């Protein structure tokens, strides 16, 4: 049953979320359409560019993304409290950076500056925009709507581009966040369109490989946007090694080819390899509204006025196996 978004995303509390948007009828509106023979691969670059732009303006950290031919995955950390600390001028500047005044295809810089000044002097409007800049729903709305309009203009048509609602899962602990990030970064490999992490396109892991410091000995950072104060408990090299190892498991033709034990990152996290695999590959099938350890899932269920959440049974079984 469809649930109000506020049951998953607390608009007043910081947290990690996995968001998925799918094209209508799951058509290949961002890839190669075999029915028409047309290629829309260039639209993936639109989505990636918009994602990175939004992360710089919203009170979010963009930790993972994968732009596929007919759907999109995003893992982000939203912190509404950060937006509440911004001045009226900063709120106005961020909003007008996202929605500048245009004349045709060109941005009118002077008109945009004047609009920002006018917004900054309107306390009621600033309060509204402040809430939006800390909102997961508004982040996804500001991502999806411009892409849909641009694609419809290109196609010379009207109508829906994305399914009406995006799917959203709360990620309740660091293990859930890292597992979901790996799941998202491995999407092209699992779909059979890329043989390796390095060969994939329009994913956060490729962005990390291009822009990140592979030797960096610091907590894993977002690819764009606000850095979570505590950081994630893996370095970039550890995350890349763990995701690469997990990806080779995902390749059916290489299941028997994997040799050696689990990567050091799993030992660092204290997670058995089978539990890690089950959580990564079950993100969208074994869980629904939230992903996390048993106690975290049960606490979330109580918060929602429920006795149980999908995924709690799986995690309980895995945790019992871990003890024995």
What does the pLDDT average to over 276-296? 89
Look at 121-135, 139-153, 223-237, 263-277 and tell me which has the smallest mean pLDDT.
223-237
Does the model's pTM come out above 0.85? Answer: yes
Residue 35 has pLDDT above 90, yes or no: no
pLDDT for the residue numbered 192: 87
pLDDT for the residue numbered 5: 65
pLDDT for the residue numbered 45: 93
What does the pLDDT average to over 42-69? 94
Task: Give me the half-sphere count of Cα atoms (radius 13 Å) on the Cβ side of residue 143.
Answer: 35
What does the pLDDT average to over 3-18? 81
Could you give all domains of the chain from N- to C-terminal order, each with its CATH number? 11-79+134-323 (3.30.70.1290)
SS3 of the chain: the string is CCCCHHHCCCCCCCEEEEEEEEEHHHCCCCCEECCCCEECCHHHHHHHHHHHHHHHHCCEEEEEEEECCCEEEEEEEECHHHHHHCCHHHHHHHHHHHCCCEECCEECHHHHHHHHHHHHCCHHHHHHHHHHHCCHHHHHHHHHHHHHHHHHHHHCCCCCCECCCCEEEEECCHHHHHHHHHHHHCHHHHCCCCCCCCCCCCEHHHHHHHHCCCCCCCEECCCEECCCCCCEEEEHHHHHHHHHHHHHHHCHHHHHHCCCCCCHHHHHHCCCHHHHHHHHHCCCCCCCCEECCHHHHHHHHHHCCCCCCCCHHHHHHHHHHHHC
pLDDT for the residue numbered 314: 60
Residue 213 has pLDDT above 70, yes or no: no
Residue 58 has pLDDT above 80, yes or no: yes
Residue 136 has pLDDT above 90, yes or no: yes
Residue 64 has pLDDT above 60, yes or no: yes
Name the pLDDT band for 304 (thresholds 50, 70, 90): confident
pLDDT for the residue numbered 27: 62
pLDDT tens-place string over residues 234-261:
999 999 999 999 988 766 554 444 445 7
pLDDT for the residue numbered 63: 96
């Amino acid at each position: 049953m469809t649930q109000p978004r506020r049951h998953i995303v607390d608009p007043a509390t910081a947290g990690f979320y996995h968001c998925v948007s799918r094209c209508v009828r799951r058509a290949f509106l961002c890839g190669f359409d075999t029915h028409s023979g047309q290629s829309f691969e260039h639209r993936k670059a639109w989505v990636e560019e918009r994602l990175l732009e939004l992360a710089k303006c919203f009170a979010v950290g963009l930790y993972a993304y994968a732009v596929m031919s007919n759907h999109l995955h995003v893992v982000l950390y939203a912190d509404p409290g950060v937006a509440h600390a911004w001045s009226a001028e900063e709120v106005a500047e961020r909003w007008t950076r996202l929605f500048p005044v245009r004349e045709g295809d060109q941005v009118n810089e002077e008109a945009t500056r004047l609009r920002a000044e006018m917004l900054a002097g309107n306390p009621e409007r600033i309060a509204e925009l402040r809430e939006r800049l800390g909102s997961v729903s508004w982040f996804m709305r500001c991502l999806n709507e411009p892409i849909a309009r641009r694609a419809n203009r290109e196609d010379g048509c009207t109508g829906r581009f994305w399914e009406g609602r995006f799917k959203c899962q709360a990620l309740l602990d660091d293990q859930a966040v890292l597992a979901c990030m790996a799941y998202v970064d491995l999407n092209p490999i699992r779909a059979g369109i890329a043989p390796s992490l390095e060969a994939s396109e329009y994913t956060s892991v490729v962005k990390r490989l291009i822009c990140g410091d592979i030797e960096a000995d610091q907590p894993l950072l977002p690819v764009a946007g606000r850095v979570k104060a505590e950081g994630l408990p893996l370095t970039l090299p550890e995350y890349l090694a763990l995701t690469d190892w997990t990806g080779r498991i995902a390749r059916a033709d290489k299941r028997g080819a994997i040799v050696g034990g689990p990567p050091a990152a799993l030992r660092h996290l204290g997670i058995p390899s089978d539990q890690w695999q089950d959580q990564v590959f079950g993100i969208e099938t074994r869980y629904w509204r939230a992903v996390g350890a048993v106690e975290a899932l049960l606490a979330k269920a109580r918060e929602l006025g429920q006795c149980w959440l999908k995924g709690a049974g799986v995690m309980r079984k895995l945790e019992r196996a871990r003890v024995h």
